[in-house]
C-alpha cells in the first residue's frame, strides 16, 4: 500500500515535470532549427537589400521597413487609445457602472476575436466603407483609399492589439499606491492634475510594457493584414499612407507556400523567419523584464 502510494506520487510528479520539460524542449528545438537554418543566409547584405530575381535572391529590406512602418502607425493609433481606456476604467469609472462593465466586456471580447475576423473587418469597414467614403469625399481620384494599404492595415492591427495595451496599462495603474493619490489630492491638486502628474508618470512602466507587447503581437500577426494591405512583392518602399507594404510574416508565408520554387529559397525563408523571431523575442523578453521589475517594486 505504502509502496503503491509512493509509486503513484513519484509518477505524478515525474509526469508533470516531463510535461513542463517537453514544452520548453519543443520550444528550444523550434528556435534552434530556425537559427541553424537561417544562420548562413542572414548577413548584413540580406538585411539591407531588396529581393532580386523574382524573390529567389537578395534581401528583405522592404519587408523590414514595411513591418516597422506597420507597427509604428499601429502604436501611434492604438497605444494612446488603449492607455486612455485603461485610465478611464481604473480612475474614472466606478466598478459598478453599467458603462464600465460594458467596456470591460468589449475589451475581453475583443481579445478573443480570431485574427482573421479582424482581417475581414478591416476589409469590410476600412477598405470598403471608409475608403470608398473618402474617395467620394475627395472626388477625382478613384480607388485611392478604397483599396488595401498600410494605413488600413495599421488601424486594423491597432484594434487587434488594443486589449493587450489596456490590460497592461491597467495593471500598472492599479499598482500606483493609493497614498500617492491621496497626498496629491490633499495638497489641493485636482483629479486631472493628480492623474497627469502622479498616476501617469508612475505607470509609465506599464505603458511601455503594453506598447512592447502590442508591437510584438503586431509584428507577428499575419492574418489581419492578408487582405488589408500586405503585398506579395513591391519594387519600391512605401511612400505614403495609401501604398501597400511588404511584411516579414507575410513574406515567410508567401515564400514557403506560394512561391514557384520553394526549395531554392529555403535559406531566405529560414533567415526571414529568424529575423521575425529575433524581433518578437527581443520585444517579449524586454516586456517580461520590465514587468517583473514592476512587480518587484510593487512588493517593496
Partner 1 sequence: MSDRRSCRRSGTSRFGDVNANLKIAVPQIHENGGNGVDRSNGGPPARLTKADLQKRFRWDEFLAEKAITAVAFVSLAAIVLIFVFVFREAAPILAPAKHSTQETVQAPTEEEESYGDEALGEGARKLEQQSASKTSVENSGSEGEATWSNLLSVSWQPVGNQPKYGLWPLIVGSLKVTVIALLVAAPLAILAALFTSSFAPRWSREYIKPAIELLAGFPSVVVGFFALVTLATLMQDLFGYQYRLNVLLGGIAMALAVIPIVYTVAEDALMAVPKFMTEASLALGATRWQTALFVTLPAATPGVFAAVLLGFGRAFGETMIVLMATGNAALFSWSFIEPVRTMSATIGAEMAEVVFGETHYHVLFFIGAVLFVFTFVLNAIAEVFIRQRLLKRFRGAS
d(CA 212, CA 287): 6
Contact indicator for 199, 181 with CB cutoff of 8 Å: yes
Task: Tell me if residue 164 falls in helix, strand or coil.
Answer: helix
**Shortest distance (Å) from residue 200 CB to partner 1:** 12
- Among 29, 28, 37, which residue's Cα sits nearest to residue 270? 37
**Shortest distance (Å) from residue 51 CB to partner 1:** 18
Residue 203 or 239: which CB sits closer to partner 1? 203
Residue 223 or 234: which CB sits closer to partner 1? 223
Return the range that interacts with partner 1 (CB under 8 A); candidates 68-76, 133-141, 186-194, 202-210. 186-194
Q: Is 153 a residue that touches partner 1 (CB under 8 A)?
A: no
**Count of chain residues binding partner 1 (CB under 8 A):** 100
Residue 94 or 239: which CB sits closer to partner 1? 94
Q: Is 283 a residue that touches partner 1 (CB under 8 A)?
A: yes
Residue 98 or 239: which CB sits closer to partner 1? 98
Task: Tell me if residue 128 falls in helix, strand or coil.
Answer: helix
Contact indicator for 268, 255 with CB cutoff of 8 Å: yes
Query: Which residues, numbered 83-112, are part of the site for partner 1 (CB under 8 A)?
Result: 84-85, 87-95, 99, 102-103, 106-112
Binding mask 129-148 for partner 1 (x = CB under 8 A): x-------------------
Residue spans of beta strands (DSSP E) within the chain: 51-52, 57-58
Break the chain down into helix, strand, coil percent, rounded to 5.
Answer: 75, 0, 25
Query: C-alpha 28: how far from its chain's center?
Result: 22
The helix or strand, by DSSP H or E, that contains position 30, with its residue range, turns out to be helix 2-38
Query: Which residues, numbered 260-279, are part of the site for partner 1 (CB under 8 A)?
Result: 260, 262, 266, 269-270, 273, 276-277
Which cell numbers in the block locate residue 129? Answer: 466603407
DSSP state of 53: T
Query: Which residues, numbered 162-181, are part of the site for partner 1 (CB under 8 A)?
Result: 162-163, 166, 178, 181
Query: Which residues, numbered 198-257, are part of the site for partner 1 (CB under 8 A)?
Result: 216, 219-223, 226-227, 249-250, 252-253, 256-257
Amino acid at each position: 500500500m505504502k509502496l503503491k502510494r509512493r509509486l503513484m506520487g513519484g509518477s505524478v510528479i515525474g509526469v508533470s515535470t516531463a510535461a513542463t520539460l517537453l514544452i520548453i524542449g519543443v520550444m528550444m528545438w523550434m528556435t534552434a532549427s530556425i537559427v541553424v537554418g537561417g544562420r548562413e543566409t542572414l548577413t548584413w547584405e540580406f538585411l539591407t537589400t531588396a529581393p532580386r530575381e523574382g524573390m529567389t535572391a537578395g534581401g528583405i529590406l522592404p519587408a523590414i521597413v514595411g513591418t516597422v512602418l506597420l507597427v509604428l502607425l499601429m502604436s501611434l493609433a492604438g497605444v494612446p487609445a488603449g492607455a486612455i481606456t485603461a485610465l478611464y476604467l481604473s480612475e474614472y469609472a466606478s466598478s459598478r457602472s453599467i458603462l464600465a462593465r460594458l467596456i470591460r466586456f468589449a475589451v475581453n471580447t475583443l481579445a478573443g476575436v480570431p485574427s482573421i475576423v479582424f482581417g475581414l473587418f478591416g476589409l469590410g469597414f476600412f477598405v470598403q466603407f471608409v475608403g470608398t467614403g473618402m474617395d467620394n469625399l475627395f472626388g477625382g481620384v478613384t480607388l485611392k483609399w478604397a483599396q488595401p494599404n498600410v494605413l488600413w492595415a495599421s488601424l486594423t492591427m491597432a484594434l487587434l492589439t488594443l486589449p493587450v495595451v489596456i490590460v497592461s496599462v491597467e495593471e500598472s495603474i492599479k499598482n500606483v499606491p493609493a497614498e500617492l493619490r491621496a497626498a496629491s489630492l490633499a495638497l489641493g491638486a485636482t483629479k486631472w492634475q493628480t492623474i497627469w502628474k502622479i498616476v501617469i508618470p508612475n505607470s509609465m512602466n506599464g505603458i511601455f510594457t503594453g506598447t512592447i507587447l502590442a508591437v510584438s503581437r503586431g509584428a507577428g500577426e499575419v492574418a489581419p493584414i492578408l487582405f488589408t494591405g500586405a503585398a506579395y512583392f513591391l519594387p519600391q518602399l512605401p511612400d505614403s499612407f495609401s501604398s501597400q507594404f511588404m511584411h516579414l510574416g507575410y513574406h515567410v508565408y508567401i515564400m514557403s507556400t506560394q512561391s514557384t520554387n520553394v526549395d531554392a529559397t529555403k535559406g531566405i525563408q529560414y533567415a526571414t523567419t529568424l529575423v521575425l523571431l529575433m524581433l518578437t523575442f527581443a520585444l517579449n523578453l524586454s516586456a517580461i523584464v520590465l514587468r517583473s521589475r514592476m512587480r518587484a517594486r510593487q512588493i517593496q
